[in-house]
Structure 1
Amino acid sequence: MSDSIRQRVQALDLTLPSPSQPAANYISHVISQHQLFISGQIPLVDGKPAYVGRLGESLSDAEGAQAAELAALSLLAQLSDALGDDLSRLVRTLRLGVFIASSADFKQQSVVANGASNLLVNALGEKGRHVRTAVGVSSLPAGVAVEVDAIFELRP
């Protein structure tokens, strides 16, 4: 298998977007010791927010999973940028956080979050397996349905 994150994503018939720039006073990622922290990523199409709305109201579970996958694609773009597209620098994905804008009675957060989890595992193999938190929230930046963040372990 390739050690290029970009090539791994292309093998899935997906295109890695350019890494998004911070929308406020923060940075996209930071490395501390042997850990890489990536800021929250939202689903974007051509640099514009996609899947605007809330699960349990205007969006279906399937649309939520697609939004999570798209946000995870942006996460992989940040990972590729941080590692110079060199997957051999990655030990593993430690934690994936998935925030889902949803109605008070929506209970399928884990189904939505699988869109992001599946992409990480499919693109990174065993290095993509992770612990995860899937949390329902009332709203997210730009009104999108999903935001994801992650912590990765790097080689010394």
Structure 2
Amino acid sequence: MPVIAIAIVASNGVIGDGTRQPFEYAEDWARYKQVTLGHPMIMGRRTFEAIGRWLPGRTTIVITRHPENIEVPAGEPRLGYAVATLEDAFALAHSLDDTIFVAGGGRVYREAMDQVDELDLTEVHHPAEGSVLFPTIDPAVWRETRREPRGEFDFVGYARIAPLPPRA
């Protein structure tokens, strides 16, 4: 049951400014859709609001202090849920599928990293302005497993080499 953190990251580690990400590449968005389709995605409220809609073909689990304020669409298949904690998000995601994506923002990545098995990153070759950072990729914890150069950015995969703490 892999848990995969997915993000687009500037060369200086920036993933956003608190309201939006600094880079938008059509090829990256197409790949994001292809990779996450059919799987639950865990994200914070600000990331969800930056996307601006429930993404079809996958279940979005939004973490917020006030889940009652998130308008969740009705119907099946269920496009989304709102929960109060990361633990609730993981419990729900594990009940839905064997593959789970952690999709940001900065705080969610930091708090989830000890439960992440793989990283699926779009590494941009340029720095960006912003205060939201992706966690540092420690080579004692992560090993690069693939790199697909695309000009201004690379699609890069990492696998955890340090053991995960036991999952509850």
Q: What's the TM-score once normalised by structure 1's chain length? A: 0.29
| Greater Rg by CA | 2
Q: What's the TM-score once normalised by structure 2's chain length? A: 0.27
